[in-house]
């Protein structure tokens, strides 16, 4: 070792110097003895230092051997971290945690005929959605999700659920979507227009507090649940209803084609027989507060509704359509049935891209050649016809024939940019334009979106 060699060299040099004739002549016997003693003490100290260095080296070698024996993927680590738009942390025993969120910013213009003076016409902009939340798993098959929306200078709980899964069975309790439509159940991150089909908003689809279950067996999905009101209404006068929802989806994969055939049924009863409900809808974008189609407030005791769903995905092409009937029970009055539906076609202009589908709804588009790979991402064109009829049994809320086109650029799986144009033709509109209630409205909108 280096220390041993240095001690021996130093001692030998000292002894040689002291014992040399020249040195012996220049110092006394007492001084020579003192130097020999000092050299011996120095040699002892170096030997002790050598022992300590040897011990430290042995400890380092043992630690290095332990590290080299450990697996490269560190399977014994209590945590595993993956990246799915945000870090997803998995712990021992089935625990996991992942932050989630989305931001959608819209700019839109609503061009209405002269003579209409109302809110939200012309150009406007807004943060359409700004959500933050968490989700994850709990040992034993349980899971959780909690998300809050901060858009519109308000704080609103969107999802707040505890879930349980066992093979094909899933149970959910808390604030979540009931089972009213393919379009409604598809996340706003993945819809093909800036806003969903008109009937979903007009018929007041929203998340509600409830208990639901779903079961998947092969290509068949069955969903059902009982629901109260939205969580924001539970401690207010608006907490006045309960409902039952059911949905069945047949979703076979035939060759390269994903098919979707679904049907749903719903019943909602209001506790207060004198309660009022209003059906109305904005013109294709959310920046405008103007509703050209509107029934006004109606007394209502119950709603019974039915929906049909049909969709297909084949490579870059997709098609979808829905029809929905909303029957309203009005004590002592005629009971109207309103109708809404849409038909849609879409096509990707970029090779290798297709629309995502998972669990009975449309899912995330994952560009084959995203910008992070040096490509341009996915580019998609969609066409839609959107119909809504709020005229029946003496209620004249108007009818809408809507024609929309959207261009969507998805540079990465978690970023999205949309351009929409819509032509809304109204008959018996709720707002008159210079005395005329039959006219058209042109709408143009842009959206930037990121989610994780």
Q: Nearest Cα to 197, choosing from 396, 362, 30, 413?
A: 362
Read off the pLDDT of each residue in 269-273 and give the average, rounded to a whole number.
85
- What are the pLDDT digits (tens) for 306-363? 999 999 999 999 999 999 999 999 999 999 999 999 999 999 999 999 999 999 999 9
Long-range pairs of 93-99 with CB within 8 A, sequence gap ≥ 24: 93/139, 94/137, 94/138, 94/139, 94/140, 95/136, 95/137, 95/138, 95/139, 96/136, 96/137, 97/134, 97/136, 98/134, 98/135, 98/136, 99/132, 99/133, 99/134, 99/452
Q: Is the pLDDT of residue 8 over 60?
A: no
The total number of residues shown for the chain amounts to: 452
Q: In angstroms, how far is CA 443 from the centroid of its own chain?
A: 27
Q: Is the pLDDT of residue 252 over 50?
A: yes
Dihedral pair phi/psi, residue 57, rounded to 5°: -60, -40
Q: Annotate 388-419 with DSSP letters as a single string.
A: EEEEETTEEEEEEEEEEEEEEEEEETTEEEEE
pLDDT of residue 37: 72
* d(C-alpha 397, C-alpha 340), whole Å: 13
Give the pTM: 0.81
pLDDT of residue 38: 67
pLDDT of residue 312: 98
pLDDT of residue 72: 40
Dihedral pair phi/psi, residue 150, rounded to 5°: -110, 5
Q: Is the pLDDT of residue 57 over 50?
A: yes
- What are the pLDDT digits (tens) for 157-192? 999 999 999 999 999 999 999 999 999 999 999 999
pLDDT of residue 234: 87
Arithmetic mean of pLDDT over the chain: 89
pLDDT of residue 70: 41
Judge contact between 217 and 197, C-beta under 8 A.
no
User: 55-69, 76-90, 242-256, 420-434: lowest mean pLDDT where?
Assistant: 55-69
Judge contact between 430 and 398, C-beta under 8 A.
yes
Burial class (CB in 10 A: 0-12, 13-18, 19+), 322: buried
* d(C-alpha 313, C-alpha 257), whole Å: 6
Q: Is the pLDDT of residue 36 over 60?
A: yes
pLDDT of residue 120: 75
User: Sorting pLDDT into bands at 50, 70 and 90, what band is 3?
Assistant: very low
Neighbour count for residue 229 (Cβ, 10 Å): 21
- What are the pLDDT digits (tens) for 356-386? 999 999 999 999 999 999 999 999 999 999 9
* d(C-alpha 158, C-alpha 171), whole Å: 18
pLDDT of residue 56: 63
pLDDT of residue 19: 45
Q: Which of 15-29, 59-73, 386-400 has the highest mean pLDDT?
A: 386-400
Judge contact between 363 and 384, C-beta under 8 A.
no
> How distant, in Å, are the alpha carbons of 11, 267, 331, 337 from that of 334?
117, 18, 8, 10
Q: Is the pLDDT of residue 222 over 80?
A: yes
* d(C-alpha 224, C-alpha 244), whole Å: 8
Read off the pLDDT of each residue in 222-231 and give the average, rounded to a whole number.
97
User: Sorting pLDDT into bands at 50, 70 and 90, what band is 15?
Assistant: very low
> How distant, in Å, are the alpha carbons of 198, 278, 329, 337, 389 from that of 396?
17, 12, 16, 12, 9
């Amino acid at each position: 070792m280096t220390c041993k060699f240095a001690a021996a060299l130093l001692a030998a040099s000292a002894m040689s110097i002291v014992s040399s004739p020249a040195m012996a002549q220049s110092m006394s016997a007492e001084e020579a003895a003192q130097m020999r003693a000092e050299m011996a003490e120095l040699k002892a100290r170096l030997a002790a230092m050598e022992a300590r260095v040897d011990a430290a080296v042995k400890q380092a070698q043992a630690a290095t051997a332990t590290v080299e024996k450990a697996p490269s993927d560190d399977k014994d680590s209590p945590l595993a971290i993956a990246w799915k738009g945000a870090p997803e942390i998995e712990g021992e025993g089935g625990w996991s945690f992942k932050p989630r969120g989305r931001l959608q910013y819209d700019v839109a213009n609503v061009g209405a005929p002269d003579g209409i003076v109302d809110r939200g016409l012309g150009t406007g902009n807004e943060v359409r959605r700004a959500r933050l939340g968490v989700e994850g798993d709990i040992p034993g098959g349980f899971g959780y999700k909690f998300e809050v929306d901060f858009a519109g200078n308000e704080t609103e709980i969107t999802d707040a659920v505890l879930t349980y899964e066992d093979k094909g069975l899933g149970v959910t309790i808390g604030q979540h979507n009931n089972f009213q439509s393919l379009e409604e159940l598809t996340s706003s991150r993945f819809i093909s227009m800036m806003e969903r089909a008109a009937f979903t908003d007009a018929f007041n689809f929203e998340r509600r507090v409830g208990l639901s279950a779903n079961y998947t067996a092969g290509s068949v999905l069955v969903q059902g649940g009982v629901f109260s009101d939205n969580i924001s209404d539970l401690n207010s006068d608006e907490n006045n209803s309960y409902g039952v929802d059911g949905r069945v989806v047949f979703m076979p994969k035939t060759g390269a084609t994903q098919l979707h055939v679904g049907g749903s049924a719903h019943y909602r009863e209001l506790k207060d027989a004198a309660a009022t409900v209003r059906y109305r809808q904005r013109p294709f974008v959310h920046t405008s507060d103007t509703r050209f189609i509107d029934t006004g407030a109606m007394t209502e005791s119950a709603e019974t509704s039915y929906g049909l769903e049909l969709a297909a995905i084949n490579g870059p092409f997709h098609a979808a359509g829905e029809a929905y009937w909303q029957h309203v029970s009005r004590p002592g009055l005629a009971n109207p049935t309103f109708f809404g539906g849409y038909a849609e076609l879409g096509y990707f202009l970029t090779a290798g891209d297709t629309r995502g589908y998972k669990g009975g709804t449309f899912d995330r588009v994952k560009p084959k050649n995203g910008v992070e790979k040096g490509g341009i991402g996915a580019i998609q064109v969609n066409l839609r016809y959107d119909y809504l009829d709020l005229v029946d049994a003496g209620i004249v809320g108007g009818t809408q024939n809507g024609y929309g086109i959207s261009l969507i650029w998805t540079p990465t799986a978690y970023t999205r940019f949309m351009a929409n144009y819509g032509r809304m033709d109204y008959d018996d509109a709720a707002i008159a334009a210079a005395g005329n209630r039959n006219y058209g409205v042109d709408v143009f909108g842009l959206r930037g979106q990121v989610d994780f």
